[in-house]
Amino acid sequence: MLSKEEIQAIKKKFNSREPVCEQMISLFSLLSNKIRFRILCLLLEGDFCVTDIVDIIQIGKISNVSQQLKLLTMAGIIDNRRDKKQIFYRLKNEKIRDLVAFIQKNYLDMKNI
């Protein structure tokens, strides 16, 4: 059984993590969309333009995928570069890359979850 002092120390530590908790909730909210998650999984492979993303993930129209790319860009998860008339998207954040790779490696091959 924990003492009152130990409980208070845990409470202080727990409450100090509130901003991180809010960031994680926002991140998992972004990842919970199928199109966005598939885009992030694809971007583990390299840089892609929107038409290639739509062709590969086979979900949604260009306008819908573009909207999801905009959300991911605004969140700071991906960025883009222009090459003549095309815009190529890539993962920007290494921690997100690691998280998506971890999920992909450990959970996407599971038959029953």
Q: Residue ranges per domain, the chain?
A: 1-32, 34-113
Alpha carbons 24 and 34: distance in angstroms, whole number: 18
Instruction: Give me the CATH code for the 34-113 domain, please.
Output: 1.10.10.10
Q: How many CA atoms lie within 13 A of 24 on its CB side?
A: 6
pLDDT tens for the chain, residues 1 to 113: 889 999 999 999 988 988 888 988 998 998 899 999 999 999 999 999 999 999 999 988 999 999 999 999 999 999 999 999 999 999 998 888 999 999 888 887 655 54
pTM to 2 decimal places: 0.81
Q: Tell me, what DSSP letter sits at residue 17? A: T
